[in-house]
Amino acid sequence: MNLHSDLSPSNDQLSKFTRLRRLLTGEGTNFIMEAHNGLSAKIVEEAGFDGIWASGLSISAALGVRDNNELSWTQVLDVLEFMSDASSLPILVDGDTGYGNFNNFRRLVKKLCQRQIAGVCIEDKVFPKTNSFLADNQQLAEIDEFCGKIKAGKDTQPDDDFSIVARIEALIAGRGIDEALRRAEAYAEAGADAIVIHSKKSDPDEILTFCRSWDHRIPVVLIPTKYYRTPTQTMKDARASLIIWANHNLRASIQAMRDTCATLMRDETLVDVEAAVAPLNDVFTLADASELEEAEKVYLAGGPQVEAVVLAASRGSELAELTEDKPKCMLNVRGESILARQVKALKRVGVSDPTVIAGYREEAVDLAGIRKVVNADYGSTGEAASLALAGDALSRDCIISYGDVVYRPFFLNLLMERQEDFVILVDPDWKEHREERSLDSRDMVRLSVPYDQAFDGGEEPHLVDIGENIDGADGEWVGLLRTSANGSRKLKAELERMREEGTLAKADIGTVLKRLVKKGETVAAIYVSGNWMNVNDLLDLAQARNAM
């Protein structure tokens, strides 16, 4: 039985020390997963594990040094502090040999407890240690000396449930089962809370023999890195209390980074890489960026406010019966409506309560966390008229979006990083992402700098022309516009002029941008390739559901 079944919700209130102790002493076999920094600790918790193994090998490798005590214990402690802060899980740290004699070890124990590290595993080798899998000439510590370390640690620990796990290296050193058992007996007598019996053989025979002879006198922890083919049930049957997946997050990340680097070195483009890596938004989520955003609302109330306007008044008649009872902004794309996806992405960049201009079936636009404004004349007016209804949103920094565009959240970060009055995103590879039926987009653009020259360190691209049938088009506007507070005011004034001229009702946003450019305003452009979809018909919707 896994301890998941024993850990009732009330146990979430227990200390990290007590929770690790229960993993070691509870019924059945439990599992903890390797982590080596704050990010990987969060991922371990996200996956549902009940505890973390802070691997000395992984921490060393992540910092670019060998697993031979080349890191000082204070450097390891710095990493552990980030891990402990990042995760609510109890951490069992790989403490190598204790970083010296009994005096070094008892100071280590005290400092670990101060940082809420729930336990430490120390191995019975001499300091500085050699990784168990690297050499045959492993030098073991004397039993009495190692027992003194255990006793010193137990006498020092400020929390009774702090766990000291003694790792026996007799099998690694070729000393045999009898020596391993002799050491286990001594370490248990000295006060160890559990023992690790370690092996570098590819079969589990000597581990299983030890477990049978030991008969679970104190809990046994297994690290099946080398004998990974052994069925987990076999280790459960041997009464292992805890199994450690010891270095697999680090090894997985090495392979993933190599693959990404090789692809970029070969192809010199992010196009294929972007779909294979975690979305940038994942990074912000794991770093709990939303908490900072909420805190900024409390503590930086006087700071600049970012608004958003989503133009979502149209039905999308090409989508047939799917939009009979709702506008296309409410169509489902992989579990969420297009609008809900946009609202979530906007929240990540600090936008609360975006203004949504509804029209067709406006009653169906009932999403929480929006400010709905209705364009009652949606049937006879266009996007510019809808935008003119945005009111105070067009007086501050603002993100303006089509209501039918599905995009990766990092698009908004690209916009927020820029300071110009007007910034748009342009896809230079638009033909590759569209079917022939929809190549006549009204949002084609020509920019001052073509895509193949935009990254040479010279002029930043800006808008020259936008509309249908643009000669020499450099790409397609993806339907996202960022305006500074000054840009918002200029945009609002231009919309009012168009109203007075009688040209507002039928105009689209491209027409407004073209007018601004003709008046000498600079509309900056950022090239992006793929990672978005404008949902105009059923095939667009199917592609969005498959790719986004």
- Catalogue the active-site residues: 67
Q: Which helix (H) or strand (E) holds 122?
A: strand 119-123
Q: By the 8 A CB rule, do 530 and 388 touch?
A: no
Cα dist from 391 to 307, 381, 388, 516, whole Å: 11, 17, 7, 19
SS3 label, residue 328 = helix
Residue in 335, 282, 337, 280 with CA at minimum distance from that of residue 310: 337
**Any idea what DSSP says for residue 359?**
B
Q: By the 8 A CB rule, do 316 and 534 touch?
A: no
Alpha carbons within 13 angstroms on the beta-carbon side of residue 122 total 34
Q: By the 8 A CB rule, do 346 and 354 touch?
A: yes
One-letter amino acid for residue 309 of the chain: V
Residue in 345, 534, 528 with CA at minimum distance from that of residue 425: 528
What angle (nearest 5°) sits at the alpha carbon of residue 136, between those of residues 134 and 223? 60
**Any idea what DSSP says for residue 313?**
-
Q: Which helix (H) or strand (E) holds 248?
A: helix 248-267
Cα separation, 217 vs 181, in Å, equals 11
Q: By the 8 A CB rule, do 122 and 149 touch?
A: yes
Query: Residue 270, Cβ neighbours under 10 Å: how many?
Result: 16
Cα of 345 vs its chain's centroid, Å: 14
Query: Residue 453, Cβ neighbours under 10 Å: how many?
Result: 11
